[in-house]
Structure 1
Amino acid sequence: MYPHWDANLLIVGVTVLTVALVTLVHYEGLVLMSRWLYQRKEGERRRKVLYGIFGVLALHVVEIWIFGTSTWLLLMYPNTGTIAGAHPPHLFDAVYLSAVSFTTVGFGDLTPVGPIRFKVGTTALTGFVLIAWSASFTYLEMERFWRR
């Protein structure tokens, strides 16, 4: 049981805002990438696919950093929890924890402790959804270029 309701509400609020921001970044990134790929020359099919893959990977890295930075900032607030295995937790520890959560690899050497677990668990769910969305986007873009 977590008796510090201010910390709990802060974590839930920041989690909701972070998920909204990351989803918006992903959506706008895919829209811009789709437009940009469509405007490329017809003979560049293979390059278009590679540009799409690298673009999606770059989007995911940005999203992991957004999650990691917001987690790290939350850990500065009292009673929000900590990261076991990182004393004190640094920015790169929070980004690493976000990366292994976002990619649904799971944590092992670093583990969230306390109320921050809610945010880290939500990071995993959001990462799973965004990775599936990227896979759909990549499939549709490849199909569009290879059909021509």
Structure 2
Amino acid sequence: MLTAVLITVLTFGLVGLLHFAVMAFAMRWLTASALPHPAKLVLALYAAGAAHVSEAGLYAIAFASGETLGLGSFQKEAAMSAMEYFYFSLVNYTSLGLGAIYPDGHLRFISGVEALNGFLLISCSASFIYTIHTRILRSEDTPPE
């Protein structure tokens, strides 16, 4: 169990740092950019989406590592492929929980924390996109000096 907790804490922190770095970079770049408003919003969506997909990928690596270390397995007939780890992680990160693949053992702990982390960071991304939108609208309403 301690190994599962360590993997989870490490992954949680890395995912948080990655999300913050991508969102901070995108915020600075998009607010300073001369791109039109719709282009800025689309790029904000792409930045958030790319961050989330990358974060699910980090959790997929955590699941593969945990299974390799004997922390649990996945209820499936054949061995998991890289795409199946990623699929499970993405479904779990977004809290869809489709149940096509599911973990047992201590991998369930990582799975639960990933769902919480995904929910928190998806909420942060919604706030980020709203902030970009309102900053753009404010800058368009400000008369030139």
- SS of the equivalent of 2:74 reads strand
The residue number in structure 1 matching 2:109 is: 118
Aligned-pair distance for 1:85?
Answer: 2.1
The answer on 1:21 being equivalent to 2:19 is no
- SS of the equivalent of 1:111 reads coil
Aligned-pair distance for 1:115?
Answer: 1.0
The residue number in structure 2 matching 1:50 is: 42
The residue number in structure 2 matching 1:127 is: 118
* Cα distance in structure 2, aligned partners of 1:133 and 1:86: 37
Contact 1:81–1:116 (CA<8 Å) still a contact in 2?
yes
| Structure 1 pair 47–112 and aligned structure 2 pair: CA distance change class (3 A) | same
* Cα distance in structure 2, aligned partners of 1:81 and 1:116: 5
Aligned-pair distance for 1:143?
Answer: 0.9
Aligned-pair distance for 1:84?
Answer: 0.6
* Cα distance in structure 1, aligned partners of 2:106 and 2:95: 19
TM-score by length of 1: 0.90
Instruction: Using CA pairs under 8 Å that are at least 6 residues apart, name the structure with larger relative contact order, 1 or 2.
Output: 2
The residue number in structure 1 matching 2:53 is: 61
* Cα distance in structure 2, aligned partners of 1:17 and 1:37: 30
Q: 2:100 aligns with which of 109, 113, 117?
A: 109
Mean CA deviation greater in 89-98 or 50-59: 89-98
TM-score by length of 2: 0.92
Aligned-pair distance for 1:74?
Answer: 1.4
- Equivalenced residue count is 139
Bigger fraction of residues in strand = 1
List runs of 5+ in structure 2 lacking aligned partners. Answer: 141-145
User: Which string of whole-angstrom CA distances, capped at 9 and with x for unpartnered residues, describes residues 23-69 of structure 1?
Assistant: 0000111110011102211x511100111011110110110101111
Aligned-pair distance for 1:86?
Answer: 5.1
Q: 1:73 aligns with which of 52, 56, 65?
A: 65
Q: Give the residue type in structure 2 aligned to 1:34.
A: M
Write out the 4+ residue segments of structure 1 that deviate beyond 6 Å after TM superposition: none
List runs of 5+ in structure 1 lacking aligned partners. Answer: 1-7
Contact 1:22–1:63 (CA<8 Å) still a contact in 2?
yes
The answer on 1:85 being equivalent to 2:76 is yes
* Cα distance in structure 2, aligned partners of 1:92 and 1:9: 27
